[in-house]
Amino acid sequence: MAFPQPNAQREIANRKILEELQLKKQLLLKQGVASTLNSSALPVLGSTPVQGSDGHSMNSVQRAALQTANTQSTGFFISQDSSFVMFPCLKLKHIEERLQCISEFEKPKILLEQYVTPSHLGSHMLYTIQSQYGDIGGKLVADLGSGCGALSVGAAVLDAALVVGFEIDSDALSTYLENVIDHEVANIDAVQCDVLKNLPRRFDKLFNTVLMNPPFGTKHNAGIDMKFLETALRLSNNAVYSLHKSSTRDHVLKYADSLGAKGEVLAELRYDLPSSYKFHKKNSVDIKVDFYRFLV
């Protein structure tokens, strides 16, 4: 697992990780998952979504699990399309319980806009990605700006072939490592780098799926969310799933289109952003965020 190292050794470590990724991909292909790793066999816009093995119906136990999750969690989804369907079930509850145990930033850095994705929203995002599109199980997944690893751990729990987190902050990566160890997930690796400046081009189109909750560009870094999107589209050979402020929806869709990607708002999220920094005057702020799927 590649975590903080001296700068002189970082490029060598990243090169080694890339070689290991290629070897793991070849091994997965030999083991009979070629269809999941072949970009030509991946879902396309308009294709029939993958149905979860648990089906559409809820039994009493599943309904109780959903009610418990909703009462104990912050935030909720507002569907933007009739085809967007969540299947509340025990597996969803299991994912949320995992994410509730994720260790958070000890001293979040404002310039990096470090906030943890709420477990309720993160679990629903990940479950939707897998149950509706089959874009996690058996896939090579990148978590861009992975932070403490909530989305990485969730994707690993959903049986991704391999998840690679990309993160610039060594403190965040230390917490990421703690979470990987605590959750006993072996199908995770990480790379420390600035994804906007020195991410090796050899990672281009290596991943089936890219996940990210990027900085929104609200603190002296306007436009950084679009730079993250551009990098994510460069890494993916299939789909990118991302969060962006609802107020920027028109701009995000137009920018994605200019990059040759088809963007779709899967859901509108509402959640309370807890007070994390000294300049915060309120205990929490209600933020409207869109959950996107971009096809490359």
Q: Is residue 279 part of a domain?
A: yes
- Mean pLDDT on 76-96: 57
87-144: pLDDT as tens digits: 445 678 889 999 999 987 567 666 656 577 788 889 999 999 999 999 999 999 999 9
For the domain that residue 110 is a member of, what is the CATH number? 3.40.50.150
Q: Is residue 22 part of a domain?
A: no
pLDDT-derived band at 287, boundaries 50, 70, 90: confident
Residue 93: its pLDDT value, please? 85
Edge-to-edge strand ranges of the sheet holding 140-144: 76-79, 262-274, 284-295, 236-245, 207-212, 140-144, 162-167, 188-192
Q: Is residue 74 part of a domain?
A: no
- Three-state SS at 123: helix
Q: Is residue 23 part of a domain?
A: no
The pTM for the full model equals 0.71
Q: What angle do CA 24, 26, 28 make, to 5 degrees?
A: 70
| Tokens 């002189």 -> residue | 8
Distance CA 240, CA 208 (A): 9
Host domain of residue 109: 83-295
Whether the predicted pLDDT of 36 surpasses 80: no
Whether the predicted pLDDT of 152 surpasses 90: yes
Q: Percent of the chain, pLDDT > 70? A: 61
- Mean pLDDT on 156-171: 95
199-228: pLDDT as tens digits: 989 999 999 999 999 988 766 778 999 999
Poorest-confidence range of 82-86, 217-221, 245-249, 287-291? 82-86
Helices (H), the chain: 7-30, 34-37, 60-72, 90-100, 119-133, 150-157, 170-183, 224-235, 249-258
Q: Is residue 96 part of a domain?
A: yes
Q: Is residue 247 part of a domain?
A: yes
- Mean pLDDT on 67-73: 46
Distance CA 167, CA 79 (A): 30
Contact 105, 170 (CB under 8 A): no
Residue 136: its pLDDT value, please? 97
Beta-carbon neighbour count of residue 8 at 10 Å?
7
Domains held by the chain: number: 1
pLDDT-derived band at 275, boundaries 50, 70, 90: very low
